[in-house]
């Protein structure tokens, strides 16, 4: 079920079977405000209302890099908010398109542990969903 979209940049969806928010990135070239709206306002509010326990980031088709300000938002605002609101698992899908995009995913994924989130890396969405089903 679609929650929010910024065309040509990202789509935020919900999988009720595994209680996961899925954010599918097409471009990491995004303003800080668009980023906060997609993740903290739309995604996290939906996650809280529906008792989500996982957040899946599909960067398999993403291009570009996050700015340092966005890495800081993840570290100082997003991951603490995830932990506070019951998100236990942060699952990443490996980028297929660019080594630079892969570096962005590694950079923000490294911040999960200090915030109490369990990092899971999978090759695709189906593997992520299967992993979550096995946790139930």
| pLDDT class of 65 with cuts at 50, 70, 90 | confident
| pLDDT class of 112 with cuts at 50, 70, 90 | low
Residue pair 96/84 in contact (Cβ under 8 Å)? The answer is no
CATH number at residue 113: 3.30.750.24
DSSP code at position 117: P
pLDDT at 7 over 80: yes
pLDDT at 114 over 70: no
Give the residue numbers spanning the domain of 48.
Answer: 2-135
Reported as a single tens digit per residue, the pLDDT across 70-97 is: 989 999 999 999 999 999 999 988 766 6
Give the count of domains, the chain: 1
pLDDT confidence of residue 3: 96
Q: What is the chain's mean pLDDT, rounded?
A: 89
pLDDT confidence of residue 103: 64
| pLDDT class of 106 with cuts at 50, 70, 90 | low
Q: Tokens for 108?
A: 């923000």
pLDDT at 105 over 80: no
């Amino acid at each position: 079920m679609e929650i929010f979209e910024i065309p040509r940049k990202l789509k935020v969806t919900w999988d009720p079977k595994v209680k996961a928010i899925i954010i599918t990135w097409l471009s990491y070239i995004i303003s800080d405000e668009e980023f906060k709206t997609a993740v903290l306002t739309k995604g996290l509010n939906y996650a809280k209302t529906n008792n989500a326990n996982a957040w899946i980031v599909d960067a398999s088709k993403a291009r570009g890099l996050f700015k340092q300000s966005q890495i800081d938002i993840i570290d100082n605002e997003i991951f603490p908010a995830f932990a506070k609101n019951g998100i236990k698992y942060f699952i990443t899908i490996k980028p297929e398109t660019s080594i630079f995009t892969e570096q962005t995913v590694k950079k923000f994924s490294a911040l999960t542990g200090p915030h109490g989130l369990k990092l899971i890396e999978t090759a695709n969405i189906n593997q992520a969903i299967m992993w979550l089903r096995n946790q139930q």
